Amino acid sequence: MKALVLAVTLLGLAAAPALAAEPAEIALTIEKNRFAPEEVRVKAGAPFVLVITNKDGSPEEFESKDLRIEKVIPAGKTVRLRMPSLKAGTYPFVGEYHEKTAKGRIVVE
């Protein structure tokens, strides 16, 4: 039993840094040609992963000119987008296929 506790503790200790190093995930949904939420807030200098799910019946392209990202998200699919650590500021993005409605921004603070 003691050995088991020790093993679990050791495993936990070994896994903890790995978990902490995993960048935070931020969910973004596309529905009815709009992003939800339209504003994503992240900390400056910390990489993160945007998990974008397209709930619409048509593809969308996540595009940020500032961040040089163009990413097609087919209908009903989820795309994991690794984002670099950003400096403080506002980075707008659009859904290129529905630019009128699909707009949002990443606010880095």
Partner 1 sequence: MAATFVVTLREAFEAALLLGIVYTFLDRIGARAQWRYVTTGGALGLVASVAMGVGLTSVSGPLLDLGPDLIATVVIFAAVVLLTWHSWWMRRHASALHGGVVRRLEEARTSRRWWIVGLIAFTGVFREGAETVLFLWGLLAQASVGSWAGITGGVLGVLVAAALGWAIFHGGRHVNVRTFFSVTTVLLLLVAAGLLSTGLGKLQALGVLPAGEPLWDSTWLLDDRGGVGGFLTALLGYRARPSTFEAAGWALYLVAAGILIFGRRTRVRVARPVETAR
Which listed residue (23, 81, 103, 107) binds partner 1 by CB under 8 A? 81
Compute the distance between CA of residue 94 and CA of residue 97 in angstroms, rounded to an integer: 9
- The answer to the question of residue 61 lying near partner 1 (CB under 8 A) is yes
9 or 90: CB nearest partner 1: 90
Closest CA relative to residue 96, chosen from 76, 73, 79, 75? 73
- How far is the CA of 80 from the CAs of 7, 8, 23, 54, in angstroms? 33, 31, 12, 12
- The answer to the question of residue 69 lying near partner 1 (CB under 8 A) is yes
Q: Which stretch binds partner 1 (CB under 8 A): 3-11, 14-22, 35-43, 82-90?
A: 82-90
- The answer to the question of residue 67 lying near partner 1 (CB under 8 A) is yes
Which listed residue (35, 60, 102, 105) binds partner 1 by CB under 8 A? 60
Long-range contact pairs involving 97-100 (C-beta distance under 8 Å, separation at least 24): 97/58, 97/59, 97/60, 97/61, 98/33, 98/60
Binding site for partner 1 (CB under 8 A): 56-61, 65-72, 74-75, 77-82, 84, 87, 92, 96-97, 99-100
